[in-house]
Structure 1
Amino acid sequence: MIILRTFLPWWHIISAMIIILVDVCDSAGMSSDSCDWYGSGLLQEEREVQSVYLRCGQGRIQWQYPRGALRLVLRHGFSGRDFFGCLRTDAQFSGANIYVEGHRKLHSLFTKTDGKHPELFRCFTSYLGKVALYVEAEQTSKGLHKEVASFSYDLQLASPHSLRDEFQECRPCTEDELLQKFCTSDFAIQGTVDTLRHQNDLQRSELEVRITRIYRKNDTSQLMPKSNQLEPNHTILYRPLKCGTQAATGSFLFLGRWILGIPVIQCAPRITEWQKVRRKAILHGKHQCQLD
């Protein structure tokens, strides 16, 4: 983990100058493959900016006693590829605001007073394989009163085409994608949709699914109900609200991954469609794993 410190009285105004420093540091190999960063603002001056470089697909930031600002430069490993990213603040997040660096200006990503649901994912897109997040301490000083600005982030590599397509995550998966995700996704389950709810404040659709078969899951206990409100063999899965998910009958194969603690569907073909893809893959030897 590399931490650089600079004293910038008006870091909002001269953020473009910091970008030059970041590029120099990166080119000199001053990066880290760490996923998490933990620190305290008690170790820095009121107007000091700490620059932290992380190269990981997922991680966690915890900044106690926020003071000055953090500049978090995120990359997805060493691929140099662009990515989509989202963060989710902890319920007790306090003492700071979060911005994403744009062209010559900062764009607000999270403030506790922005009126949005505290559990809403705050998302962003990288540029030239990286993104810089500013975590700025609030100006109102509370002395030694402990505040903690903490959140988790998740980055997902994207193709050049998908970066230009706002609804990329909503389109049906191709046959090759179905085969690849069946073998690599965090969960692969068969089931029927009992209830569909749209959560406008969280910008997601919630599907209550009755599980009829679990093909693969690293931790099956995560899919099982943890609340008395759900019947046995039921679980909750999610899709982005913008996808316009509609209620449908029949049996589906749900493939997806955990994003910031939420199981998100990436592919959901009908079982009859999946069986055709499966038979074709086995016939032509295209399967990458056991397909049953």
Structure 2
Amino acid sequence: MMLRLVVLVFMLGLQLRHCAADLCSWTGSGFAAAVDSRIVLQVRLRCTEGSVRWIYPGQALRVVLEPNLSSARRTTVCIKPSPSLRGASVFIERSGELNASCRPCNDTELLMAVCNSDFVVRGSIKNVSHDSARQTSLVEVSAARVYWQRSGVFEHQPTAAGSPWRGHIHTLLQCHVQPGDGEFLFTGSEHFGEAWLGCAPRYKDFLSVYQTAWAARRNSCDFPLD
């Protein structure tokens, strides 16, 4: 489901208050937003690792992740606390819109994901644990092939039979990810040392999409098929 919250923010006259720039970590208070509901806090972080600590969360927090690396992509994340303050919803901002992250990727998004993601891994889901407080799920992945990754989220275990790579991927609790059979192509982004799930089609479905695009010369990049 697509939410046009950014557009609504300005139509309703909400104020975007800049809190910090060029930081690795940020700690701040949403107390002002509790007083004035038009305020949306904005934080800009430029390191590859760090943390965000939000005290008295208010209307929303807009975090711009722009690591000071030539190979890094700018990512904007909007965090909206739940009314009970026992969790939060996290949205990725793309082209002025906020993506509810659980919807399946279309063919165009999938082809772009294998070219632009911080990690691309083929494997299966071994286990899923849920954190109701953070409103997130942690997916344990057993990977037969790591095509690429920006850092060492997936670790090589040469003694493991069949799938020598292991790693964990974060996603939203509302996505209802469950362990199951089948081989998937996991893609996504890395933020502050954590992998976050993007597109994750079944590998056979990805092959069909990629081969169709390749025949029509519509693929965004070359992907190794094996």
Tell me the TM-score range normalised by the shorter chain: 0.5 to 0.7
1:222 equivalent among 153, 162, 174: 153
Counterpart in the other structure of 2:122: 190
Query: What SS does structure 2 have at the residue aligned with 1:201?
Result: coil
Q: How many residues align?
A: 176
C-alpha displacement at 1:204, in angstroms?
1.6
Matched, 1:158 2:94: yes
Matched, 1:205 2:137: yes
Q: Per-residue CA shift, 1:33-77, capped at 9, x if unaligned?
A: 9432xxxxxxxxxxxxxxxxxxxxxx53257xx9x989985278x
Counterpart in the other structure of 1:97: 55
Higher alpha-carbon Rg: 1
- Structure 2 residues without counterparts, runs of 5 or longer: 1-12, 34-38, 45-50, 61-79, 158-162
Where does 1:122-141 land on structure 2 (aligned, <5 Å)?
122=88
- What letter matches 2:52 in structure 1? R
| Alpha-carbon distance change, 211 to 203 in structure 1, aligned in 2, over 3 angstroms | same
- Structure 1 residues without counterparts, runs of 5 or longer: 1-18, 37-58, 77-86, 90-95, 103-107, 126-155
TM-score (norm 2): 0.61
Counterpart in the other structure of 2:22: 35
| Alpha-carbon distance change, 280 to 75 in structure 1, aligned in 2, over 3 angstroms | farther
Query: What SS does structure 1 have at the residue aligned with 2:208?
Result: helix
Contact 1:100 1:124 in 2 (8 A): no
Matched, 1:88 2:52: yes
| Alpha-carbon distance change, 238 to 69 in structure 1, aligned in 2, over 3 angstroms | closer
Identity of aligned residues (%): 22
Distance 1:235 1:278 in 2: 25
C-alpha displacement at 1:200, in angstroms?
1.9
| Alpha-carbon distance change, 72 to 157 in structure 1, aligned in 2, over 3 angstroms | closer
With 275-284 and 257-266 compared, the bigger mean Cα shift is at 257-266
Distance 1:174 1:158 in 2: 15
Contact 2:59 2:81 in 1 (8 A): no
Query: What SS does structure 1 have at the residue aligned with 2:211?
Result: helix
Query: What SS does structure 2 have at the residue aligned with 1:249?
Result: coil
Query: What SS does structure 2 have at the residue aligned with 1:171?
Result: coil
1:61 equivalent among 4, 22, 26: 26
C-alpha displacement at 1:260, in angstroms?
4.2
Counterpart in the other structure of 1:171: 103
Counterpart in the other structure of 2:42: 74
Matched, 1:276 2:212: no
| Alpha-carbon distance change, 261 to 100 in structure 1, aligned in 2, over 3 angstroms | farther
Q: Per-residue CA shift, 1:63-115, capped at 9, x if unaligned?
A: 7xx9x989985278xxxxxxxxxx732xxxxxx9344358xxxxx969xxx98
- What letter matches 1:60 in structure 2? S
Contact 2:124 2:181 in 1 (8 A): yes
Contact 2:128 2:137 in 1 (8 A): yes
Distance 1:278 1:33 in 2: 42
- What letter matches 1:239 in structure 2? T
| Alpha-carbon distance change, 124 to 181 in structure 1, aligned in 2, over 3 angstroms | closer
C-alpha displacement at 1:240, in angstroms?
0.7
| Alpha-carbon distance change, 159 to 248 in structure 1, aligned in 2, over 3 angstroms | farther
Matched, 1:256 2:192: no
| Alpha-carbon distance change, 174 to 269 in structure 1, aligned in 2, over 3 angstroms | same
Distance 1:254 1:224 in 2: 15
Contact 1:185 1:257 in 2 (8 A): yes
| Alpha-carbon distance change, 33 to 183 in structure 1, aligned in 2, over 3 angstroms | farther
Contact 2:27 2:55 in 1 (8 A): no
- What letter matches 1:281 in structure 2? A
TM-score (norm 1): 0.49
